[in-house]
Chains A and B, each alone.
Chain A
Amino acid sequence: MDRNRYVENMVDESTADGIDNYLGEEDPQARRYERVEESWPPPKDKPQAQRRAGAFQSRAAARKYWIILGSLLVAGLLFAFGLLAWNNPMPFGTETFWLIAERRADAVIAMLIVAVCQAVATVAFQTVTNNRIITPSIMGFESLYTAIHTSTIYFFGAAGLIGARTLETFLVQLALMIGLSLVLYSWLLTGRHSNMHAMLLVGIVIGGGLGSVSTFMQRMLTPSEFDVLTARLFGSVNNADPAYYPIAVPLVLVATALLYLNARKLNVIALGRDTATNLGLNYKVLAISTLVLISVLMAVSTALVGPMTFLGFLVATLAYQFADTYDHRFLFPMAVTIGFVVLTGAYFIMNHVFYAQGVVSIIIELVGGSVFLFVILRKGRL
């Protein structure tokens, strides 16, 4: 941040008309002005060329934002196209080419859905909790996902787990996850003693309790059943079933649209609870409704592809770095684009350069986890 800009602004700001009368010796003229305020001369409109009240600190920052967003968009589209077209045995443009591409497109759509869910949910979550180093995925969504899948295979066997890939089970998972978070919110965020941190911690602890139940069931499984389960417990876009899209896409679109429409209010919430209340926001209602939307997004993402703990964190941190603005109207698109680039890029490179498709999500987790460590050690306060 350049300090000179503020200094210039300070120097540039001239005093209001008539203020000299108050500073100087008191004279009858001034007294008359004081008495009849209606007769003050109308304030002159001074053009304040250097002062900006927009989302960006300067024109250069805005330009930088659009350039980064544009190039990320191009990169994302290139990676997506690469995923569709690379190693495609048919020549480009033929009918069979598009047939193959269409099959591959399912995975790319899953990446898009996950990118939108994780990015928007994490940015909004970090704003509402006023903490930039946590992610909503620790709030028990993943433990619930693990517990659901582990108990399915525990009670019904591997065939049961594969047979349970229906739209109904997807809906049940969504309902359970959203239900759990609604219970948490209504229990801990309403009433006199509402406390965001207590709510977070309770969510994490309930997740931990579920986790130890899952661990127990996992060790009772035969190794082959465990292998089937493991494949499901690692977040992977290949877990996504196109049959879920008719439910998932509208949910994501509605939740994202609502969050985006509330972007200006989120900007105010980011100032903290007291300031937001002071500025006339109904903090509690807005915070809870935002959290509900976040839980919808997280539930869709987790039920669709599985746990992705640090993807959201990675994406949000990068978005703050690149966007360099407080304004959620600009943060959301940047975060979503980064999420898409990260996912498509990771899958493209892992598929076609290292031929190691299975570990993509783990690589993303490792990178995200390292960024997390780096950020908490560099940050001064929480």
Chain B
Amino acid sequence: MTSTTAPRRDTRTRKKLFDWKLILGIAVVLALLALSLSVGEYDILSTDDGWEMFAATRIPRTVALVLAGAAMAMSGLVMQLLTQNRFVEPTTTGTTEWAGLGLLAVTYLIPAATIMDRMLGAVVFAFIGTMVFFLFLRRVSLRSSLIVPIIGIMLGAVVSSVSTFFALQTDMLQSLGVWFAGSFTDILRGQYEVLWVVVLVVVAIFLFADRLTVAGMGEEIATNVGLNYNRMVLIGTGLIAIATGVVTVVVGSLPFLGLIVPNIVSMFRGDDLRSNLPWVGLLGIGIVTVCDLIGRTIISPFEIPVSVILGIIGAVVFVTLIVRQRRG
């Protein structure tokens, strides 16, 4: 290599990480979060214990929105990279169902389980489930990328029928439904703190971003450029499992979030993981916050769980994506 070409090779083809658009995005999301902090039934400004209430419910809820939104959106992105399939995310591969099964198993086996125990169970089961799915993907050759989510959803149906059987035998069926429906209603100080674990996941995804991008090019290319592909898949799966498990235990399932966010981002920005990551995180937070705000306000003083609104919006976006891809 001559010295004249060296600097040229250093200039990146990717866009800059921080530009005015991202700053604008951050500003919008911050505004949404401020709105989320200010919306609620309890009058904070004119009552004596208003600030106490604010610290006990509003702040934890908003923090949970940020953490869960960013983590699930990013896990969806990592999963789509590793499977090389745009239609994959924790709820279309059965990962969420596995996490629920783990939660149920721990609750059944250890009645006095702490939230840590449940989380551990959920994470372990989510990891096993995701590995089963990946194993299956590697063993079969596919004729169409649309088959992958179909199989994943059927896999999820198998797992959830096991959960249902289990829950029916132990009279936990309705509470199973309550767990699964993602909702930020009961996020209080002292209960949500484990959610901070996902910060580690987000940081790790940032650190591994380039390697995950390479792994997303397939086993041959990844090995060819000197990446331990299998280890990367294991790390990726582990990160997804931790994020999904923790979010399922604390919040519940957030359907389609990991699916629509990365797709929308890559529609506008292409497929470079590292420069897209802030956007994916931001958009994930933004969408969850908007859905939560809608859920809190339209039938106030009651709430609609965020999973219902996400499920409906997500289904519409997903269908649009499929139809678009069909045209393309």
In the bound complex, CA of A198 to CA of B316 (Å):
14
Interface range, A side: 35 or more
Which residues in chain A, 368-382, are within 8 Å of chain B measured between CB atoms? 369-370, 372-373, 376-377, 379-382
In the bound complex, CA of A211 to CA of B308 (Å):
9
A216: chain B residues within 8 A (beta carbon): 181, 304-305, 307-308
In the bound complex, CA of A201 to CA of B319 (Å):
8
Contacting pair B165 A209 (CB below 8 A): no
A218: chain B residues within 8 A (beta carbon): 174, 177
Interface of chain A, helix or strand or loop or mixed? helix
Contacting pair A193 B326 (CB below 8 A): yes
Query: Is A276 part of the binding interface, using a Cβ–Cβ cutoff of 8 Å?
Result: no
Contacting pair B146 A359 (CB below 8 A): no
Query: Is A62 part of the binding interface, using a Cβ–Cβ cutoff of 8 Å?
Result: no
A221: chain B residues within 8 A (beta carbon): 174
Chain A binder among B3-11, B70-78, B153-161: B153-161
Contacting pair A133 B164 (CB below 8 A): no
Within 8 Å by CB of B150, from A134, A206, A223, A379, lies: A134
Interface residues of B (CB under 8 A from A): 87, 91, 132, 135-136, 139-144, 146-147, 149-151, 153-155, 157-158, 161-162, 164-165, 168-169, 173-174, 177-178, 180-181, 255-256, 304-305, 307-308, 310-312, 314-316, 318-319, 322-323, 325-327
Q: A215-B177, A366-B161 are in contact. List 6 more A-B contacts (CB 8 A).
A: A134-B150, A197-B146, A200-B150, A208-B256, A216-B307, A359-B168
Within 8 Å by CB of A202, from B169, B310, B322, lies: B322
Contacting pair B326 A376 (CB below 8 A): no
The residue on A at minimum CB distance from B315 is A209
In the bound complex, CA of A135 to CA of B155 (Å):
12
A198-B180 in contact given A218-B174, A369-B161 (Cβ < 8 Å)? no
A215-B308 in contact given A193-B326, A202-B322, A230-B173 (Cβ < 8 Å)? yes
In the bound complex, CA of A195 to CA of B324 (Å):
12
The residue on A at minimum CB distance from B147 is A382
Interface residues of A (CB under 8 A from B): 131, 133-135, 138, 188, 193, 195, 197-198, 200-202, 204-206, 208-209, 211-213, 215-216, 218-219, 221, 223, 226, 230, 234, 309-310, 359, 362, 365-366, 369-370, 372-373, 376-377, 379-382
Contacting pair A208 B255 (CB below 8 A): yes
Contacting pair B157 A138 (CB below 8 A): yes
A198-B139 in contact given A205-B319, A216-B304 (Cβ < 8 Å)? no
In the bound complex, CA of A221 to CA of B308 (Å):
16
- Min distance, Cβ A356 to any Cβ of chain B, angstroms: 10
Contacting pair A365 B161 (CB below 8 A): yes
In the bound complex, CA of A255 to CA of B151 (Å):
28
18 CB contacts below 8 A, A to B, read: A134-B150, A138-B153, A188-B326, A195-B326, A197-B147, A198-B323, A198-B326, A206-B319, A215-B177, A226-B173, A365-B161, A366-B165, A369-B158, A370-B158, A376-B155, A381-B140, A382-B147, A382-B151
Contacting pair A208 B141 (CB below 8 A): no
A211: chain B residues within 8 A (beta carbon): 311
Contacting pair B322 A198 (CB below 8 A): yes
The residue on B at minimum CB distance from A194 is B326
The interface centre, meaning the residue of B151, B158, B327 with most chain A CB atoms within 10 A of its CB, is B158
Contacting pair A200 B146 (CB below 8 A): yes
- Min distance, Cβ A126 to any Cβ of chain B, angstroms: 12
A376-B136 in contact given A202-B322, A216-B181 (Cβ < 8 Å)? yes
- Min distance, Cβ A346 to any Cβ of chain B, angstroms: 14
The 5 closest A-B pairs by CB, nearest first: A212-B311, A209-B315, A369-B158, A197-B146, A216-B308
In the bound complex, CA of A271 to CA of B9 (Å):
52
In the bound complex, CA of A370 to CA of B143 (Å):
24
The interface centre, meaning the residue of A188, A216, A234, A366 with most chain B CB atoms within 10 A of its CB, is A216
